[in-house]
Amino acid sequence: MQDPTNNSNLEDKQPELTKEQLNKRREEITAFYKENMAHLEVQAEYEMLLAAIEKARAERMQAQMFMAQQHVDQKQGGVAPDSEEAVAFKQAMEAAASKLD
């Protein structure tokens, strides 16, 4: 069985490049990356927007779930509107709303 760390077969297949060929190859690779930077910047902006949208949706869902739970608690005689929990929720909702504006 061959040793997997032995790369002699790969080394035999790689051609020896001259200094000029290496420089030309580096320039080609650099040009390729520079040409694609604009596309990657647009993609990064797109991904950031998607993340912001997902975060807003999650926050809205969390607020809706909390509101539904508050409604159920009030129906069952649970949380009073002036309780510490209700006041904290109101402040959190106002803070979230101010971020959206």
Whole-model pTM: value is 0.48
Token pair belonging to 39 = 């596309």
* pLDDT tens string 10-20: 555 667 888 89
Outline where DSSP puts E strands in the chain: none
- Cα 77 to Cα 79: distance, rounded to the nearest angstrom: 7
Host H or E run for residue 19: helix 19-75
Residues in contact with 89: Cβ distance below 8 Å, sequence separation at least 6, in sequence order: 66, 70
**Mean pLDDT, residues 82-95 taken together:** 81
